Amino acid sequence: AQSVAQPEDQVNVAEGNPLTVKCTYSVSGNPYLFWYVQYPNRGLQFLLKYITGDNLVKGSYGFEAEFNKSQTSFHLKKPSALVSDSALYFCAVRDRGNYGQNFVFGPGTRLSVLP
Amino acid sequence: SAVISQKPSRDICQRGTSLTIQCQVDSQVTMMFWYRQQPGQSLTLIATANQGSEATYESGFVIDKFPISRPNLTFSTLTVSNMSPEDSSIYLCSAADMGAREAFFGQGTRLTVV
């Protein structure tokens, strides 16, 4: 069975500082990995994905994530945080070998960027 | 990317009544999903909407309570039947295409049952 862990409920960072939101996953086969962001009263917005190839993937709004197979991690990063980055972030996994498999979402991490 | 329109965006309903939520995608997609989310919490998958056949429900969700239709590759509805206050939640429609791999989401429907 697939699962996703986001070990931090809340991450606080000062504006201009680098941010990291952690994600670890478990999947029987090879994974597709995703990050989504949710602003208040909105649906989830897709940020980036890892499918194959380069372990460092770049996405929207200056975010990037690094796939680490040995640590089964896919941490989200940004070199310089903005107050507008404050939101709820979800990591998700999908089993690459099973297109019919659903997406599994982590519990979410609330990011607060302090001015 | 797919653009998903979901309506209504919010509603307040009396217990015992039913609400149908509509989800329209601007392109044909392979898979459509319905999720429930408590504010600030993670997503719980209700079911996968299958085009032309019965939806596939997750454990804890049944067709009588959450009937789903998907008449074509761009449209689906979720009905929350015989509502109780425990059904108060955010309901999200999602669509995914095998080629793109990622899923896209509607804006959500915030349901309050009184």
Q: Number of helices and strands (H, E) in chain A?
A: 0, 12
Q: pLDDT tens digits, residue range B55-99?
A: 999 999 999 999 999 999 999 999 999 999 999 999 999 998 766
**Looking at per-residue confidence, does B11 or A104 come out higher?**
B11
Non-local (6+) Cβ contacts of B60 within 8 A are none
Six token digits for residue A62: 């200056």
Q: pLDDT tens digits, residue range B19-66?
A: 999 999 998 888 899 999 998 899 999 999 988 888 999 999 999 999
**Nearest Cα residue to A60 out of A40, A82, A41, A42:** A82
Distance CA A22, CA A8 (A): 7
**Domains (range + CATH), chain A:** 3-99+106-114 (2.60.40.10)
Confidence of residue B114 (pLDDT cuts 50, 70, 90): very high
Contact B34, B43 (CB under 8 A): no
B12-105 — its CATH code? Answer: 2.60.40.10
Q: pLDDT tens digits, residue range A46-105?
A: 999 998 889 999 999 999 999 999 999 999 999 999 999 999 999 999 876 655 567 889
Nearest to B98 among A99, A102, A105 (CB): A99
Residue B4 contacts A where some CB pair is shorter than 8 Å = yes
Shortest Cα distance from A47 to chain B (angstroms)? 10
B 63-102: CB under 8 A from A:
92, 94, 96, 98, 101-102
Distance CA A60, CA A19 (A): 15
| B interface test, pick of A34, A37, A90, A105 with most B CB neighbours within 10 Å | A105
Residue A108 contacts B where some CB pair is shorter than 8 Å = yes
B110: chain A residues, CB-CB within 8 Å: 41
